[in-house]
Structure 1
Amino acid sequence: MSASVLFDAPGPKARVRNLIYSVVGSIGLAALIAWVCYRLYDKGQFAGELWDIFNYAGIRQNIFDALLSTLKVFALAGVFSLAFAVVLCVARLSDHKPVRWVAVVFIDLFRSIPLLITIFALWVGIVGDMTPMWALVLGLTIYNGCVQAEVLRAGVNAVPKGQVEAAYALGLRKTQVTASVLFPQAVRSMLPSIISQLVVTLKDTSLGYIILYPELLYSARLIANNTPVGGVYPTVQTVIVFGAIYIGLCLILAWLAKFVEQRGRRSKAGIVPAQANEPKEVAAAGTPDPGAPGDAASKD
């Protein structure tokens, strides 16, 4: 019997006990799912006519407009947060102590404050009148910029020190070293974490419903609460439709992350030099043949 280096292989009693736990847990989970389904069925949530609301052109247009609003906020917040993260990361790694400490305090402060509080504070006018869209964009930019800055800093610190020393030995300035040596490798190594945080940014756009921004969750609440069919609100149907939209958007981002990572891996590997036969041919041509007449004459 082989055992893992992390734990001992379970014995007969342990296997029986684990089997009992698995069976009991599965039965409990199945019972919970059955109870939830029964409650939804009892409230009429499985009625087929509840899906008819999505056949109306007005409902479909509402969903499409909410999707565009969500993507617009996500695009702006994603780009701004990455640019802001670069600025914060550079300040965090600065040799000047005041600049470094300001960046540390700012990052720790806004990473500690709940994002919803930041968005709501911006919307109610803490920095002047601001539309719901820009309050949401700015709140997402500040929070995700702070998180992405720490991700980039971890990537920069992971770059081998020898490469930095070699760059300085070539006469490069610190700005050139940061831009051409540190950040390209940091982005490449931390790309999965960066894309993962962008997925979080996409999902956090749903906080816009608090400040009445017409994004996907706001539209879902309107549809679920204001379009009853036979006295029953289409809660389950709305959750399924809008949940599928969110899942689709996240899968697209995951595919994009995988695509960019594969491209980065190929570019990191570089171009493999071909095994040219030319040097061998040249060497063979330059090697004298002992049996040739000219060689014998030269020897004579």
Structure 2
Amino acid sequence: MTQANVLYDAPGPRARARSRVISVVGVIALVALLGWVVWRLAQPQVAVNGNETPGMFSPSRWDVLAYGEVWRYIVSGVWNTLRAAFTAMVGAMLVGMLFAFGRLAERAWIRVPVTVVLEFFRGMPVLLMMLFILLVAATGAFWAVVIALIVYNGAIIGEALRAGIVALNTGQREAGLSIGLTPVRTRLMIEFPQAFTQMLPIIIAQMVVLLKDTSLGYIVAYPELASTVKNASNFYGNGYMFTFWVVAVAIYLAINLTVSWIGRRAARMAAARRA
């Protein structure tokens, strides 16, 4: 028995043909569904009172994008989103390191309180955290969004780093202690860099989630991208709502794909250096 068919037999001619048929049918069904969605959006909308409005792809719904003030308003929302996201990313990494080292501390009076605090923050919704920070700590909207994202995502990243450190061979730590390093320096200089490299894909995925969670800033009146688009659609009329949301989706996709690409590049470079 070869390694290729330990868990399953190699597909025969009939299975391969059936797989090709299912793939073709699935692609055709998906294209048909997308075509129907596009056709449906292009149809004029008829209200209950009989008034007819143009379809979503009508030029009358997209002429608003020719106004310079519209793009200046959208760019301000993008800037606020990026500013909050990258500030929270740096803070979440630092807080995550502290949580990871606290969870792995040998002294119970450090480990137990850190564990309780970490589990509390992991279980708290980010939305409620933003409201609590704004109302109780009396911070501005920016810091309410940033601190909530730092605390929540720091707890998630801390658990990922802790798992990476625990997964390392115990010989790594023993080697550091044997050459005279203190336990803290061993963890910081030997264990943490390896755990960070191993957990980098998870950390990057969490950073993308963090960036998307900035859209929750609307609850504290922070003018990030989603809130900006909503306000613009209210100002220019509901007829432009679909237009503004398409622009917002395209911007979010561009930002998230860029962050993911940077993360993959960093992971490959770190793996190459480690090799």
Range class of TM-score, shorter chain: 0.7 to 0.9
**Alpha carbons of structure 1 residues 154 and 234: separation in structure 2 relative to 1, 3 Å:** same
1:69 paired with 2:75, answer: no
SS of 1:45's equivalent in the other structure is coil
Aligned AA for 1:39?
R
SS of 1:234's equivalent in the other structure is helix
| Higher Cα radius of gyration | 1
Q: Which residue of 2 aligns with 1:171?
A: 180
Which of 190, 201, 214 aligns to 2:210? It is 201
Q: Which residue of 2 aligns with 1:37?
A: 38
Distance in 1 of aligned mates of 2:27 and 2:196: 43
Q: Which residue of 2 aligns with 1:110?
A: 121
Q: Which residue of 2 aligns with 1:263?
A: 269
Q: Is the 8 A contact 1:76 1:137 kept in 2?
A: yes
**Alpha carbons of structure 1 residues 10 and 261: separation in structure 2 relative to 1, 3 Å:** closer
Distance in 1 of aligned mates of 2:251 and 2:68: 18
1:86 paired with 2:73, answer: no
Distance in 2 of aligned mates of 1:128 and 1:108: 21
SS of 1:63's equivalent in the other structure is helix
Distance in 2 of aligned mates of 1:155 and 1:94: 15
Which of 186, 191, 201 aligns to 2:200? It is 191
Distance in 2 of aligned mates of 1:19 and 1:128: 60
TM-score using structure 2 length:
0.85
Deviates more, 1:2-11 or 1:73-82: 2-11
1:237 paired with 2:243, answer: yes
Distance in 1 of aligned mates of 2:23 and 2:271: 41
Q: Which residue of 1 aligns with 2:253?
A: 247
Deviates more, 1:161-170 or 1:237-246: 237-246
TM-score using structure 1 length:
0.79
Q: Is the 8 A contact 1:69 1:214 kept in 2?
A: yes
Aligned AA for 2:231?
L
Q: Is the 8 A contact 1:45 1:235 kept in 2?
A: no
Distance in 2 of aligned mates of 1:15 and 1:170: 58
Which of 131, 152, 166 aligns to 2:161? It is 152
Q: Offset at 1:41?
A: 2.0
Aligned AA for 1:85?
G
Q: Offset at 1:233?
A: 1.5
**Alpha carbons of structure 1 residues 13 and 255: separation in structure 2 relative to 1, 3 Å:** closer
Distance in 1 of aligned mates of 2:102 and 2:36: 54
Distance in 1 of aligned mates of 2:89 and 2:152: 11
Q: Is the 8 A contact 1:74 1:202 kept in 2?
A: yes
Q: Which residue of 2 aligns with 1:58?
A: 69
1:217 paired with 2:210, answer: no
Q: Give the unaligned 5+ runs of structure 1.
A: 270-300
Distance in 1 of aligned mates of 2:21 and 2:175: 61
Q: 1:54-97, CA deviations, whole angstroms, 9 ceiling, x for partnerless residues?
A: 11111111011111111110111011111111111111001111
Aligned AA for 1:241?
V
Q: Is the 8 A contact 1:91 1:100 kept in 2?
A: yes
**Alpha carbons of structure 1 residues 219 and 7: separation in structure 2 relative to 1, 3 Å:** same
SS of 2:268's equivalent in the other structure is helix
Aligned AA for 1:41?
A
Aligned AA for 2:92?
S
1:131 paired with 2:132, answer: no
Q: Offset at 1:240?
A: 2.2
Give % identity.
36
The size of the alignment, in residue pairs, is 263
